[in-house]
Amino acid sequence: MTDNTARKLEADLPDLEAYWMPFTGNRYFKQHPRMISRAEGMYCYTHDGRKLLDAVAGLWCCNAGHCHPRIVEAIKAQAETLDYAMAFQLGHPRVFELANKLTGIAPEGLDYAFFVNSGSEAVDTALKMALAYHRIRGQGERTRLIGREKGYHGVGFGGISVGGISPNRKMFGAMLPGVDHLPHTHNLEHNAFSRGLPKWGAHLANELENIIALHDASTIAAVIVEPIAGSGGVILPPEGYLKRVREICDKHGILLIFDEVICGFGRAGAAFGATRFGVTPDLMTIAKGLTSGTVPMGGVLASKDVYDTFMTGPEGAIEFFHGYTYSGHPLAAAAGCATLDVYLGEGLFDRARAMEETFADALHSLKGEANVIDVRNFGLIGAVELESIPGKPTARAMSIFRECYDNGVIIRTTGDTLAFSPPLIIDKAQIGVVVDTVRAALRSQ
C-alpha cells in the first residue's frame, strides 16, 4: 500500500474504536484496517478502491457469488411487501415455500425443515432435537452427545461442547456435561497430498464402538460430525468412514447429525455432502450457502421419523419448545428461495463438480513449494498446510494471508493451513490467479 493510499484510507474511515470485532485481533485490525465496502460476483472491493478476488466466498458462504442480482431483487421485493410476521403461531408463505424447495433437494428421507439464524443456532437446535426425540420415545436417559476432535460447530454452548477446537473451549468453563469426542482423522503420515478423499483412516470410525462400550449406548443421544471438517483445518473423511459411523449409530439407536454448514449447497460438488457421500444422517444442520451469505439464516433438516416422533401429544399443543423470534424471517426466506433458484437454474452444484479436477490440479501444483507439507481437495474446498514456524504456530499462514491480500486475493487461514472455498461461479482463469498468488506469496517468504 502506498503512503497516499494509506492516508486516503484513514481519512475516509469511520472511528473504529467502538466495534468489538468477532474472532479478530481487534487491536491489530484497528491499526491495520482491511475494509470491504462493496462486492460483486467473484470480487470484493476495498474501502480505498482495490479489487480483490474472493477465494473463500466471504466466509464459506457466498456460493452464488456476491450480490447476485436475482437474490438482491428478491430481498428488496420482500422488504417492501412483508418485513416481519410473528414466528410463533403465525406463518408467512415464503418460509413454507423455502421448506418445500429445500426438502426437494435434500437427501431422500430428510423431509422437514426447521429454521434458525445461524450455524451455531442450527447446531444447538439439532442437539436439543436429539435429546427431546429420545425423551419422547421413553429413552430420556440418552443424554450424552458425541462430537469429534478438531470439529467446529459454532460458538453456542452446545456447539463448543461437542466441538473439538481448544481455543474455542478453554475460556468458557465446564460447558455441557456428558460430552465425549471421537478422534479426528487428520494424518499426514498416511494421507499427505491425497487427491480427493484419503484412502487411510476408515477404521477410526470404529473408535465410536469404544466410546459406546465406555458409556453404554443407552446413555447416548447423538453423534455430530462435519462430513468435511472446515474450520478445524479442512479435514476430509477417509473413504468409507462416514458409512461406518452411520452403521454404528444405527446398530445402537443413536441419532447421527451431519453439520453441513460448510459442506452444503454445492461446496462438496453436490447439493450436500450427504448427497455426495451417499450417507444420510437423521438431522442435518445448514446455514451459510442457504442464502448465499446475503441474509443470516440457518436450519435443521430432519427425518420423517424425528418429525413424527414430535408430532404426538394433545392436539393443538406445542410439540417442540424451541425457536427464535427471527426463525424463518421473511427477508431470509426470500433470499433462501431466490438462492436455491439460482443454484438450480444456473446449475451451480454441477458446475462445482465439473470444476473439481481443475481446482485440484491447480492446488496440487503447489506441492514442492517451500514449507508446503500437504495439499487437500474435494469439491470446491481445498487446503494447503504449511510447516509451522517453530514456536510461532499460525504465524506462517497469517503472513501468507497478508501477502495474498496485498496482492489482490482473499484466502483464509486455520492454524497453519490455508483454506480455499471459492464461490461456485469461479472459472479456470480465476483459479489460476488464486494459486499463482499463493505460490508467489510462498516464494516471497
Ligand X SMILES: Cc1ncc(COP(=O)(O)O)c(C=O)c1O
How far is the C-alpha of 293 from the C-alpha of 59, rounded, in Å?
8
Q: Are 153 and 123 in contact (CB under 8 A)?
A: yes
Among the listed ranges 98-106, 124-132, 150-158, 324-332, the one in contact with ligand X (CB under 6 A) is 150-158
CB of 34: closest distance to ligand X in angstroms? 19
The yes or no reply on residue 154 touching ligand X (CB under 6 A) is: yes
CB of 444: closest distance to ligand X in angstroms? 29
Instruction: Candidates 179, 197, 262, 442: give the one binding ligand X (CB under 6 A).
Output: 262
Among the listed ranges 189-197, 258-266, 312-320, 431-439, the one in contact with ligand X (CB under 6 A) is 258-266
Angle in degrees, CA 199, 203, 204, rounded to 5: 100
Distance between start and end Cα atoms, the chain = 18
CB of 290: closest distance to ligand X in angstroms? 10
Closest CA to 289 of 97, 422, 409, 157: 422
CB of 299: closest distance to ligand X in angstroms? 11
Which triple of cell numbers denotes residue 262? 460448510
CB of 181: closest distance to ligand X in angstroms? 15
Q: Are 265 and 343 in contact (CB under 8 A)?
A: yes
The yes or no reply on residue 261 touching ligand X (CB under 6 A) is: yes
Comparing every residue's Cβ against ligand X, the nearest one is 119
Among the listed ranges 12-20, 91-99, 168-176, 254-262, the one in contact with ligand X (CB under 6 A) is 254-262
The yes or no reply on residue 232 touching ligand X (CB under 6 A) is: no
Which residue, 75 or 123, is less far from ligand X as judged by CB? Answer: 123
Angle in degrees, CA 315, 317, 322, rounded to 5: 145
Which residue, 154 or 164, is less far from ligand X as judged by CB? Answer: 154
CB of 321: closest distance to ligand X in angstroms? 22
Instruction: Candidates 107, 227, 230, 382: give the one binding ligand X (CB under 6 A).
Output: 230
**What's the burial of 25, exposed, middle or buried (CB within 10 Å: 0-12/13-18/19+)?**
exposed
CB of 156: closest distance to ligand X in angstroms? 8
Among the listed ranges 66-74, 140-148, 256-264, 333-341, the one in contact with ligand X (CB under 6 A) is 256-264
Among the listed ranges 38-46, 184-192, 224-232, 364-372, the one in contact with ligand X (CB under 6 A) is 224-232
CB of 367: closest distance to ligand X in angstroms? 26
Instruction: Candidates 152, 265, 307, 326: give the one binding ligand X (CB under 6 A).
Output: 152
User: What single letter denotes the amino acid at residue 420?
Assistant: F
CB of 295: closest distance to ligand X in angstroms? 12
The yes or no reply on residue 226 touching ligand X (CB under 6 A) is: yes
Task: Give the position of cell 444442520.
Answer: 285
The yes or no reply on residue 274 touching ligand X (CB under 6 A) is: no
Which residue, 120 or 413, is less far from ligand X as judged by CB? Answer: 120
Which triple of cell numbers denotes residue 48? 480505498
Instruction: Candidates 65, 107, 119, 201: give the one binding ligand X (CB under 6 A).
Output: 119
Among the listed ranges 34-42, 46-54, 151-159, 243-251, the one in contact with ligand X (CB under 6 A) is 151-159
The yes or no reply on residue 124 touching ligand X (CB under 6 A) is: no
CB of 260: closest distance to ligand X in angstroms? 7
CB of 150: closest distance to ligand X in angstroms? 11
Among the listed ranges 168-176, 236-244, 257-265, 345-353, the one in contact with ligand X (CB under 6 A) is 257-265
Lay out the site mask for ligand X across 99-118 (x = CB under 6 A, - = otherwise). -------------------x
Which residue, 120 or 292, is less far from ligand X as judged by CB? Answer: 120
The yes or no reply on residue 259 touching ligand X (CB under 6 A) is: yes
Name the site residues for ligand X (rule: CB under 6 A): 118-120, 123, 152-154, 226, 230-231, 259, 261-262, 287
